[in-house]
Amino acid sequence: MFWGVAVAALVCVTALAAGATNSAPDHVVRRFRLGPFFEYSATRDGATFWALRPFYSKVQDPAIDTRVTDVVWPLSTFHRDREQSWWRFVLAYGSDDDVTCDESAWKFTLLPVWFQGRSRLGEDYWALFPIHGHLPHIALMDDIDFTLFPLYFNYEVNGVERVYTPWPFYSRLTENPHLREEGVFPFWSRQVNTKHQIERRYAFWPFWTSAVYGGARNPGSSFLLFPLYGEVNRTNETQRLVLPPFFSYARTDSAERWRLPWPFYETHEVWATATTKPAMKRSYWPFYASVVGEGDRRWYAAWPLLWYSSSESKNRRAERTRFFPFYAHETVRNSDKAGREYEAEHYTRLWPLYLRDATPERTRLRVLELNPIRYSGGIERNWAPFWTLYEYTRTPDGTTRHDLLWGLVQWTTRADLR
């Protein structure tokens, strides 16, 4: 008991001394830690952070007007970014576009039964699934209405409204000058779009589907006898499918693709045209695949273990390598206005031993590193300190600060003193 109290007191004294001597990073002026369980810090700009891990953490920065609060993360989290806010608690979710305005758009969801809110157009809505409700702009659809789902279901996409009574067996379109449809799912259906000059049919869906495309842009026809055979015969596109999706050949005015069989073997070549850039993909899944294009190169081996990519643009070159989950390396090089190239990011993770993250402003190394994800604020705030036994940071002036066992041992080295 005595030794436990003594060690705890030593940790507290060390942490308070660290804040007094400013041995934390330059922007941190006060810091107190009690092992990985409790932490408080403040910056000279007024930002504060405190955590009682793994139950609670809170960070707020008045300079950029942001606040993040986690309660037993990932079960719940609460975010505020200037006027906008959002929160999540298990299966409940809520957001507000402007907390300072009573008329702003907001939403509350308790999956999968209750939905309520106000759209950006000022429309109030609610839905109690599957009893009754109205939902605007959800799941790629403009509007959804339902009553005793699936007995009545109505949705609208791009001005086309469809009514199911019941879903998915019988449907009809509301009045539309360009569309006409009749049928009973899944037995048969016929749809005619006079605006785009397309006629689609099916019988005993999905076993037989067909389409006829009119107009001058890309006329032709297609059919599919699932799962045996299918064809596409259009001016700018040709396809042959055998036991789809396993065997197929496709050719357009800018590309050619073979799958023999998918997903194990695939080649996809894109030729240079007025609207496309040349590229070549070869895949022998799961053993090897490569994609080579203008300024872009990717390959993998023993999917999903080994993966590499590189890309180039006008002022940026990025290179990434993965051997999941054990190794990850990323390098980003940018060019300044004078055309000089410099290293903007350098990241290395050797899981579960350490990570090193370097930018022109700061270099950081941490031991251990159990997180296989590079960007995860919730893990950093609530869980990473449990396995962070040692950490150092280096600033551009050559000052390196070392932190061992959550501040129990700290020291600083400077380049001009070595």
Instruction: Please report which residue ranges of 265-415 form alpha helices under DSSP H.
Output: 377-382, 384-387
User: If you average pLDDT over residues 295-323, what whole number do you get?
Assistant: 94
Residue 262, both tokens: 């998918």
Please name every residue paired with 83 in a beta bridge, in sequence order, or none if there are none.
none
For residue range 375-414, list pLDDT tens digits in order: 899 999 999 999 999 999 998 888 999 999 998 999 998 8
* pLDDT for res 172: 84
* pLDDT for res 216: 83
Strand, coil or helix: 416: helix
User: If you average pLDDT over residues 168-174, what whole number do you get?
Assistant: 86
Query: Could you tell me which of 177, 175, 207 has the C-alpha nearest to residue 189?
Result: 207
Query: Could you tell me which of 78, 34, 84, 38 has the C-alpha nearest to residue 64?
Result: 84
For residue range 135-147, list pLDDT tens digits in order: 998 877 889 999 9
Share of the chain above pLDDT 90, in %: 74
- Indicate if the pLDDT at residue 416 is higher than 80: no
* pLDDT for res 83: 94
Residue 10, both tokens: 């030593």
**Owner of token pair 């569309």:** 179
Q: List the domain boundaries for the chain.
A: 177-244
**pTM (2 decimals)?**
0.79
**SS3 letters across 167-190:** CCCEEEECCCCCEEEEEECCCEEE
- Indicate if the pLDDT at residue 6 is higher than 80: no
Helices (H) and strands (E) in the chain, counts: 3, 38
* pLDDT for res 9: 38
* pLDDT for res 14: 37
Do the beta carbons of residue 372 and residue 325 sit within 8 Å?
yes
